[in-house]
């Protein structure tokens, strides 16, 4: 005969157990976590460190062109290349597609499998009011553990595999298993039959995120095209300012030559003092105009430096920028009609591509809202198996229910429970339908109505944008035609002004003409030359404007979208 359980010195009864059961439970927990680390070898990196990602480098300014005697000679193509590499606004825009890629990755996360493990330990000591409760007082230690795996699919199907276990130690002398170790597992399949059937809401969001990635790339192309246009405009403005300096220098030189001539004539008495004063005033005016032209050149240079570099201040640029390209009106040719250019713009303009993708997103949201109008009806099916084991205690109740004598102990543990679990002797099936029916369905109806309105709005927005693009194409063509006409008029004006100046100079040399008439002729030539230079420059700028209006800025400048996106982007080591 085996004696009854002795009491602890603290008044709590001893709870029978075996070292093997404890060891098996500990091994089970350790094995679970080792399996988790084996499945996810990058487990620590996923949860404890920043995610490795592609990043935009903040590098030093890349200088192109040719440095000679303190001057930087830049072509238009080199200025555009420098802007692509150095412009800070382009660097900012270059982040947007990278962020959109991770947004797409985040939307896909709904289909990532997940695992979990729960462990609880609970110890209670409670009084009893009857011997039928199993003792004068009851002490129970209840340990539970649960682990599982879940996977969702785009068809509205979900799969779950759950493993559960518990270990109950008690002083209740009615317990035949002490500790009692229960184990079980279940496999569950859940299928949406109405809302979410065939395609769940997350799948719609993935498609929207994929379109948003394309939208971000088109937005990048649009912003870069605008910056390139600014670079081209600034480049030719700088070229115009440089030409204007040369014109003003020539005018100043001519005014000084006239002053010297009048002073010589005044000294010999063949000219009045008034003619000398008029010449001096003209020299002062020409000097002021030259100073203004030089200041304007420096101001435009600072603007160009900001566009093509990442220097904090324009003064950091190592030299004066000299535009190496000369305006060549013969390069400005329009070989397509307005209708042909407009058709190209409809296919090429980034804003229209964004609008088309936005319409597609609104259509996807409308489909999703229609799906959400349905009630939620799920089919649930599953299979279960169970096991039970532990130390079996046999007591003799012939002497009564109060403190029965233990007559035998049959050792057992988690091995018995697991053997029974996988023996398929104890099993169960799960089959059910879960219906959730919103009575008024107000939220889904409101979302559906909003989705319809948003879809209609996106279509009107696209039409409005197309109207604006058509106007920009027409305006760019008009500017080219206007500047070509200004160029022709400027050439005629320069020839006429030069002939008049030659005539006035001849009359002045023989003493027939006056200083005022000669100065006026010089001013007319100066004005005509300025108009001609401005017309040539404006024609080059209008060509860039037409490329932008049609959406061919990248193509016209031999720029690849993929290369522009990856420029200055570094992959993780």
In percent, how much of the chain has pLDDT > 90? Answer: 44
**Contact present, 183 and 165 (Cβ < 8 Å):** yes
Identify whether the C-beta of residue 242 lies closer than 8 Å to the C-beta of residue 72: no
Chain position carrying tokens 């030409």: 243
pTM more than 0.75: yes
Give CA–CA dist 331/440, Å, rounded: 68
Pairing of strands 405-410, 376-396: antiparallel
Q: Lowest-confidence range among 299-308, 314-323, 407-416, 457-466?
A: 407-416
User: What mean pLDDT comes out for the span 416-444?
Assistant: 90
Q: What is the mean pLDDT of residues 59-81?
A: 89
Helices 88-108 and 201-267: crossing angle in degrees, nearest 10, is 180
Take residue 60 and report the two structure tokens written for it. 């030093």
Q: With beta carbons less than 8 A apart as the criterion, state whether 371 and 194 touch.
A: no
What Å distances lie between residue 170 and 176, 391, 409, CA to CA?
A: 10, 12, 15
Identify which has the larger pLDDT, 289 or 467.
467
Kindly calculate the radius of gyration of the chain based on its CA atoms and give it in whole angstroms.
44
Give the DSSP letter of residue 511.
Answer: T
φ/ψ region of 289 (left if φ > 0, alpha if ψ in -120 to 50, else beta) reads alpha
SS3 assignment for 227-250 = HHHHHHHHHHHHHHHHHHHHHHHH
Cα 259 to its chain centre, rounded Å, is 65
- Residue 191 pLDDT more than 80? yes
Please provide the average confidence, as pLDDT, over all residues in the chain: 85
Residues 170-186 have pLDDT tens digits of 888 778 888 888 989 89
Is 448 in contact with 372 (CB distance < 8 Å)?
Answer: yes
- In the predicted model, is pLDDT for residue 144 greater than 80? yes
Q: How far apart are CA 81 and CA 255, in angstroms?
A: 42
Domains of the chain with bracketed CATH: 1-51+120-152+157-195+382-436 (no CATH), 203-365+445-555 (1.20.1600.10)
């Amino acid at each position: 005969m085996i004696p009854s359980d002795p009491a602890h010195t603290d008044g709590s009864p001893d709870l029978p157990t075996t070292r093997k059961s404890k060891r098996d439970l500990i091994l089970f927990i350790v094995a679970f976590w080792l399996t988790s680390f084996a499945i996810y070898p990058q487990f620590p990196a996923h949860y404890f460190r920043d995610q490795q990602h592609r990043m935009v480098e903040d590098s030093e300014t890349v200088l192109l062109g040719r440095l000679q005697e303190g001057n930087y000679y830049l072509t238009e193509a080199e200025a555009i290349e420098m802007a692509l590499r150095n412009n800070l606004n382009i660097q900012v825009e270059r982040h947007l597609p990278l962020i959109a890629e991770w947004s797409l990755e985040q939307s896909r996360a709904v289909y990532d499998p997940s695992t979990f493990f729960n462990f609880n330990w609970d110890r209670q000591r409670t009084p009893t009011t009857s011997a039928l409760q199993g003792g004068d007082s009851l002490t129970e230690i209840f340990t539970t553990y649960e682990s599982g795996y879940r996977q969702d699919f785009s068809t509205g199907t979900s799969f779950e595999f759950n493993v559960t276990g518990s270990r109950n130690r008690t002083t209740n002398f009615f317990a035949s298993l002490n500790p009692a170790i229960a184990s079980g597992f279940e496999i569950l399949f859940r299928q949406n039959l109405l809302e979410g059937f065939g395609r769940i809401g997350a799948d719609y969001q993935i498609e929207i995120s994929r379109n948003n990635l394309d939208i971000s790339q088109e937005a990048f192309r649009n912003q870069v095209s605008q910056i390139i246009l600014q670079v081209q405009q600034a480049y030719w403005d700088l070229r115009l300012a440089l030409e204007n300096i040369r014109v003003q220098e020539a005018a100043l030189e001519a005014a000084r030559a006239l002053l010297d001539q009048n002073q010589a004539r005044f000294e010999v008495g063949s000219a009045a003092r008034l003619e000398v004063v008029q010449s001096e005033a003209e020299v002062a005016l020409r000097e002021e105009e030259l100073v203004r032209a030089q200041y304007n050149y420096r101001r435009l240079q600072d603007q160009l430096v900001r566009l093509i570099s990442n220097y904090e201040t324009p003064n950091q640029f190592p030299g004066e920028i000299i535009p190496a390209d000369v305006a060549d009106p013969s390069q400005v040719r329009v070989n397509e009609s307005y209708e042909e250019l407009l058709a190209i713009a409809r296919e090429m303009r980034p804003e229209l591509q964004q609008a088309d993708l936005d319409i597609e997103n609104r259509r996807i949201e409308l489909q999703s809202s229609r799906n959400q109008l349905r009630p939620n009806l799920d089919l649930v099916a599953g299979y279960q198996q169970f096991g039970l084991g532990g130390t079996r205690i046999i007591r003799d109740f012939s002497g009564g229910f109060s403190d029965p004598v233990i007559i035998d102990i049959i050792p057992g543990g988690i091995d018995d429970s697991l053997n029974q679990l996988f023996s398929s002797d104890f099993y169960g099936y799960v089959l059910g339908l879960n219906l959730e029916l919103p009575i008024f369905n107000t939220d889904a109806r409101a979302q559906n109505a909003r989705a319809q309105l948003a879809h209609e709005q996106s279509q009107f927005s696209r039409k409005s944008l197309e109207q604006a693009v058509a106007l920009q194409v027409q305006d760019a063509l008009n500017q080219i035609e206007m500047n070509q006409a200004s160029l022709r008029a400027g050439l005629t004006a320069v020839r006429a002004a030069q002939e008049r100046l030659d005539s006035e100079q001849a009359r002045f040399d023989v003493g027939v003409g006056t200083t005022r008439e000669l100065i006026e002729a010089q001013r007319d030539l100066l004005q005509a030359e300025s108009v001609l230079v401005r017309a040539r420059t404006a024609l080059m700028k209008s060509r860039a404007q037409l490329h932008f209006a049609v959406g061919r800025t990248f193509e016209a400048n031999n720029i690849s979208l993929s290369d522009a996106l990856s420029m200055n982007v570094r992959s993780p080591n």
